[in-house]
Amino acid sequence: MTEQEKMKNGMWHNANFDQELLSLRGKAEQLSYDFNMSCPGSREQQNVLADLLGTELPDGLTILAPVYFDYGKETSFGKGTFVNHGCYFMDGGSISIGENVFIGPYCGFYTASHPVTYQERNTGLERALPITVGDNCWIGANVSVMQGVTIGSGCVIAAGSVVTCDIPDNCLAAGVPAVVKRQIEQNRRGNHNEE
């Protein structure tokens, strides 16, 4: 298997020294730079984003600069999703963001981990596991979502949280590490000020 194939299968792979992966990350870094330096909302900026993500952009997707991707094409967004300034998508493992998701500024989605022993870490080993965020979520400012995590639909993740394990649908989670604080009653109206 190539190192890229290992990466996509959630296996330990050489991320630091494999030329194919270095080239793919270099291209994504250049496209991220081009996006970040483009006129906000311009056709040029949208074209760069489509090239970076490797797909036609979904309706209503808004991503504000600056934004950073390791690969770009390993991240997908649903329609109506909003990504605020300064977010980072470490997408060696796939990152799937649902529809109508609000992502606050300076959030990070980190699919990669490294060995804890420096001897192994220094060889370039990495393992990337996917992250999934369901529809209609609100990810507050400065949230870190770690590898292998699934956040269910209808969730709110409080600002500054570090999400290290799965969060079920319709939950408010907060903390370091994030824990479920309560269920959200989605059909209840008039509770917009209590979060």
Complete domains list, the chain, with CATH = 3-183 (2.160.10.10)
Entry pTM? 0.94
**Residue 192 pLDDT:** 58
Cβ atoms of 144 and 138 closer than 8 Å: no
> Bridge-partner residues for 75, per DSSP?
95
- Nearest 5°: the CA angle 96, 104, 26 is 55
- Secondary structure letter of residue 167 according to DSSP: B
Could you give the CA distance from residue 96 to residue 115 in angstroms, rounded to a whole number? 25
Q: What are the per-10-residue average pLDDT scores of the chain (195 residues)?
A: 96 95 98 97 96 97 98 98 98 97 98 96 95 98 98 98 98 98 85 52
**Residue 195 pLDDT:** 47
The single residue of 13, 85, 114, 192 carrying the catalytic annotation is 114
Q: Would residue 192 show up in a list of annotated catalytic residues for this protein?
A: no
